[in-house]
Structure 1
């Protein structure tokens, strides 16, 4: 399970991203609690989250082109420097005791722009740091460390917000970005850059490569719907939890339940390879309808937390297999551009969801909005199984481990 860590390149990448992921897991909960506490408005929280999502979507294709042109770890390093400065600024401002919504929106937009370059570069870098036969284990380890951070993150965030203030959560995130910058600076990997053919030609090449694979783009539609549902969950979920399920601690419990399930999903992905991976994955993604429905019904927070654990466990398991399939079937020279289209399509509806969820919840009620979203995500996950390519796709098996015979005397 852990053989990818024997390679120094993957070990450096994994260490930096593990610590950075811990910091990233702290700030969303701290941000949600700080904004809800200051304004009591899900619409304000949605505006801050959307401010990061919009530039991320607008620039992710540009980021994909440059991540195929330049060494991917250099692109990631530059993006991490920007995020370090953003989190440091937000943390210092929050420690000042005044939440300026306009500043949060502007800084979130800058962070989103940096992420647009980081994401396709990161997805394309893993195959350069580990043997191809261990890609699933490498992806699963990456998901495991990321989700392990999600377990600790909500606990740390809730504790910091209640005891010391939300600003310290952002300063912690800034420190983890500094560690990531250091590990990326030490990383040395081979980069087979795409020939320079002009920006639009290279961008079109990524689109053509993605469209060749029907299993790819049909699944992306489901991912887009799932992320739309997630936007509703992230905006109306804290509002319901704080007002009806027990306050700030209730949302922290629900978030941590989802994080624990996600860790379990990553552990399972280290060992389990379904014969028909995307049939299993889409059925698991459909489980996200359960926490949405329970929130709509104002179920007790522990029950919602268990449902969130099942849902996010399925998501993490799917992510490991999805990245492995993409890295195996898409040529390395086009990988970041294809992943940029992946991110654009998958997250395309997220700003809409973040902007609309609050007003929709105010118009029809949070329960009706959450219940409708649950029906939508389950329907999309089941319908995609009608596509033969989705049901039949398989992954390459890992190479068998050959033990050397013991020396004889």
Structure 2
């Protein structure tokens, strides 16, 4: 199903890595990869900063929730801003908010104990910055890379995330031991300054993608109409929402518990998490330069493997089997994320892209906390194995249903980079809008 890339600007210029020769994307990639590494480090540092300064596990839960809640609440508004204002400007503002809030938090922890209310407020500012940044980021990428280089661009961005998810926590652990958690938080704040510098160097993203003439509610309705007009888009989003509730949230909660009880402790969980990150990196490398003709068939088929780690833990398979399952899930995750983003960018009008992606991301985050909260109590009453097995069964059933849908099986990747303005939003299939100044 996956075939070599068609000849085009990206492939002609040097194949899989050609998109990095595009100045705009290369500059942005450096800034984004740096800030994402800092964010991955900060997640570990913040936990130790709270606990080392007298915080309880309940305090830590509140701090983590303080970041997630505003991110969910303001995500749709961030999508409206991403389609109404220049996306580069929105992202600069978001990075400024995150750099300032993280920098203040680091300085407060360096000075001594910090009141819980201050930590909660600054964590909430970070969540607000993420809500503003993400939809504009999703909409800006097609402006930075040539249309026939979008698959490679998304693969490289996914690989940067994979490297950060593995290397960030490990590096943070070393730095916390050598210096302090507050120092790592300060490093994260500085990483956002690098991202700001990269955004300032961009020559694109200065103009608003849409007219922005309607009210916020009107633009949200218009974005919803575009989102709901694509059967494949809302169906896969719904599947992904329930996946986070029934499969991934229980895995994140019960995986460490299972590792502690049956595989020797945190070292085993570290191996499993590292295996997933390694699989993600491998999946990104394997996908570079390849263009599936039916991308959603590929993504739906390969995401059967997302159930593999939960299945291995449910039956208490040997540790090497669990790690192998995590590698398979990591490969699946990388392939899905890259092809999914590319498909959306190719079939959703550019002036609606941020709002549409805000609905997609909102679905991903909206019910995940419920799954996190329920997984522990359910496992205490029924056992770890049954809870994980329910998730495995759901993933197999849901993927089979989605794969049977004509809208999913029939969607094809564009044969050539589309250059025409999309027709009415009521149409099921639409080519991507031509960007100003892009040949």
State the TM bucket, normalised to the shorter chain.
0.7 to 0.9
Whole-Å separation in 1 of the counterparts to 2:396 and 2:62: 27
CA contact (8 A) 1:32 1:238 kept: no
Structure-2 change in CA distance of 1:389 and 1:33 (3 Å): farther
Cα separation, 2, equivalents of 1:348 and 1:146 = 21
Please tell me whether residue 27 in structure 1 is matched to residue 42 in structure 2. yes
Would the aligned equivalents of 2:99 and 2:189 in 1 still touch at CA under 8 Å? yes
Q: How far, CA to CA, are the matches of 2:320 and 2:116 in structure 1?
A: 32
Please give the secondary structure, in 2, of the residue aligned with 1:355.
helix
Q: How does 1:148-187 map to 2 (within 5 A)?
A: 148-187=163-202
Distance 1:162 1:244 in 2: 28
User: Does 361-370 or 143-152 show the bigger shift?
Assistant: 361-370
1:155 Cα deviation after fit: 2.2
- Asked if residue 58 in structure 1 is aligned to residue 91 in structure 2, the reply is no
The answer to whether the 8 A contact 2:35-2:188 is kept is yes
- TM-superposed CA distance for 1:50, in Å, is 3.5
Q: Normalising by structure 2, what TM-score?
A: 0.81
Match of 1:221 in 2: 238
Could you tell me how far apart the structure 2 residues matched to 1:117 and 1:100 are?
Answer: 26
Q: Are the equivalent residues in 2 in contact too, given 1:46–1:354 (CA < 8 A)?
A: no
Question: How far did residue 299 of structure 1 move?
Answer: 4.4
CA contact (8 A) 2:87 2:208 kept: no
Q: Distance in 1 between matches of 2:173 and 2:42?
A: 10
Distance 2:259 2:113 in 1: 24
Give the aligned partner of residue 286 of structure 1. Answer: 304
Let me know the Cα RMSD of the aligned residues: 2.8
Residues 217 and 252 of structure 1: CA distance in aligned 2, closer, same or farther (over 3 Å):
same
1:2 is paired with a residue of what secondary structure?
helix
Which residue of 2 is the match for residue 335 of structure 1?
353
SS in 2 for 1:321: helix
Aligned to 1:84: 99
Give the drift of 1:100. 7.0
1:105 Cα deviation after fit: 4.4
**After superposition, what is the alpha-carbon deviation per residue over 1:340-375, rounded to whole angstroms, capped at 9, x for unaligned?**
111112322112123333333444444433332232
333, 336, 355: which is aligned to 1:318?
336
Task: Give a deviation string over 1:301-355, Cα, whole Å, max 9, x none.
Answer: 5443332221122111111111111111111111111111111123221121233
User: What's the counterpart of residue 327 of structure 2?
Assistant: 309
Q: Which residue of 2 aligns with 1:208?
A: 225
Shift of 1:215: 0.8
Change (3 A) 1:87 1:234: farther
Which of 374, 382, 401 is equivalent to 1:383? 401
Deviation at 1:256, TM superposition (A): 1.5
Change (3 A) 1:106 1:216: same
Is the Cα–Cα contact under 8 Å of residues 238 and 251 in structure 1 kept in the other structure?
A: yes
Q: Counterpart of 1:273 in 2: which secondary structure?
A: strand
Deviation digits for residues 86-137 of structure 1 (CA, Å, limit 9, x no counterpart): 3334445566786976655444332222111111100000111122121111
Contact map agreement 1:155 1:256 (CA 8 A) in 2: no
- The TM-score normalised by the length of structure 1 is 0.87
Equivalent residue of 1:393, what SS?
Answer: coil
Count of residue pairs the alignment pairs up: 398
Structure 1 stretches lacking a partner, 5+ long: 400-409
Distance across 1 between alignment mates of 2:20 and 2:330:
25
Name which of structure 1's ranges 228-237 and 102-111 shifts more when overlaid on structure 2: 102-111
2:85 pairs with 70, 76, 80, which one? 70
CA contact (8 A) 1:54 1:351 kept: no
Q: Deviations over 1:187-244 (max 9, x none)?
A: 2214343221221111111111111111111010111122223222333333433454
CA distance in 2, matches of 1:239, 1:91: 31
**In structure 2, distance between residues paired with 1:57 and 1:367:** 30
TM-aligned CA distance change 1:161 to 1:300, over 3 Å: farther
> Which residue does the alignment assign to 1:241?
259
CA contact (8 A) 1:34 1:161 kept: no
Alpha-carbon distance change, 32 to 281 in structure 1, aligned in 2, over 3 angstroms: farther
